[in-house]
Structure 1
Amino acid sequence: MSTTDAGRFARYPSLKDRVVLVTGGASGIGAELVAQFAAQGSRVAFLDFDDFGGQQVAARTGALFRHCDLRDVAALRADVANVAAQLGPVTVLINNAARDDRHGRETVEPEYWDERMHTNLRHQFFCAQAVAPMMRDAGQGSIICFGSVSWMKAQGGMPAYTTAKAAVHGLARGLARDLGPSGIRCNVVVPGWIFTERQETLWATPEAVASALERQCLKEKLYPPDIARMVLWLAADDSRMVTAQTFVVDGGSI
C-alpha cells in the first residue's frame, strides 16, 4: 500500500496548513511521511544529507528540502530556523532519522559509539529544543520520536543502536512532562520490521522474512504507510490528549 491508497484512509482537517518538519525524509519511512503529510495539505519540510533522494522527494511532493547533517547541531538549528522563516512556526516535529547499521560489540570504539548516539539519539533532543519555543508560542504542538522494536526483542548485533533507541523513550517521556504545560505533546512510535528498499536490499532474506512473519500475530509484511498513518493521527488534533505514550506498529511481534 502507498499514498495512492489515501482515499481508503482518514483525512485530518486539523493538519491542513500545519507546518510539519520531518527528519530523514529523503528515503524509506521518512519519504512516506513527507508524502502523507503533503497529501493532508500540510506545509511540509524535511532535513536529510541525501541530496539526490531529497531532491526527488521534494519534486514529487512539493515539500521543502533542506540539506542537513543532523549530527551537526549548529547546522540543525540553522535549518530549523530557516524552515520556520520560509513556512511558518513548526508545530509538528517528526524525529524519524536514524541508521540501524549492524556492528559487533568487539569492534566498537568510543568514537563510533559517540557517532551512533549523534546519529540515532542526540538530534532528537536538539530538534525538539529548537521547535519548542515556536510550539509554546502557538499554544500547541506534537513531537513524535521514533523508537525501535530491536531492543524490545533483545536483538543483538548492534549495541550502540539499541542503546540509543531505548533512550528515546526516556527522552520523550521527560519532554512530555516538561512541555505539557505549554500544550505540547510528545509520543514515541515504534516500528516493527518495515520493508523499505534499504531493508529489502540488506537484510530481507527469505529465511529472515519467514522468521519475522512467524513471530507476528498478523501475517503480513509491514510497509512505510503503515507507520505513517499512526504518525498522522498523533500529529492531528484527534489525539490532542495523548502524550508520554508509546505506540508499537509491528503486526504483533512483541
Structure 2
Amino acid sequence: MERINNETIDLLMARKSMRVYEDKPVPQELKRQLLEASLRAATAGNMTLYTIIDVTDQALKDKLAVTCDNQPFIAAAPLVLIYCADYSRWYQAFCRVEEEVRRPSYGDFMLAAEDTIIAAQTAVTAADALGLGTCYIGDILENYEIHKRLLKLPAYVMPVAMVVGGYPVRQQKERKQTPRFALEDIVHDNRYDREKSARMMEMIEEKENWRGEELAPRLRAFCKRKWNSSFSEEMSRSVKAMLDAWIDPQDEEMEDGKGC
C-alpha cells in the first residue's frame, strides 16, 4: 500500500523520549503556544477536567527529581509540566447552584484522567512540532502523599501525568528510536483475539530481537527491573491511596469543610 506523505504523520512517527537538554530556557511565548495547543485537545463535555502545573521553581524541581524515583534529569529540565485530573472546580460550581450534589466517584476520576492524558499527549506533540524534546515521567504516580503536600493539591485533584522537556542535545536527536510491536499483533479485528495475545513471547522476541537462549534471561531481568521492583510496588500503593482520597476526602481537604 502506498504511504501518503504528511507532515503531521511524519512528526508522530519520528517521536521518541528525550532526557538530555541544552542549558537554555524554553521561551515563554513558545511554552504558551504548546499549552494553548494542549487546551485544544479533546475533552469530555468540553469540561477541561484537568489543571496543568507549570513547575519553574528550581527547588521544587530538585525535590521532584528525588520523589519521582531519583531521576536527576528532571531537575535539569527547562520544562516541567504536571497534569492533574481535576474535578474540584466543577464540584464547587455545582454546589453553588444545587442543594444536593453527589461527590465525585470512580467514573469521574477515570473521565478526568482520560482528559488529562489526552491534553498531556497533545502538549508532547506540540513540543515536538516546536523543536523541543520531551519525556513522560510515570513516577509522578508514586509518593502521592508527598506530591499532594508539595503541590498543595485540594480534594479531587490528583497528579496523573508529568512531562519534562527542553531543547534536546545532538546525541538525543540522533539516538535511534526504540522498537515497537508489529501493528498486526496489536490491532485486533472487531473483538479481542486471544490467539494473537498468546504470541506474546514471540512478539517480544521479534520486537527486541532477543533470540533463542537470550530471550528468557533478558525477559527475567526486565521483569525484575520493571515489575518485581520497589518503585512498581510503591506506584500501586500510591495510586490506591490516591483513589481512596478521591472517593473519601478528609473534611479538611474540602474547600468549605464539607463540600455541599
Could you say which structure has the higher strand fraction? 1
Q: Does TM, normalized by the shorter one, top 0.5?
A: no
TM-score under structure 1 normalisation?
0.25
Q: Which has the higher contact order (CA 8 A, sep 6+)?
A: 2
TM-score in terms of structure 2 length: 0.24
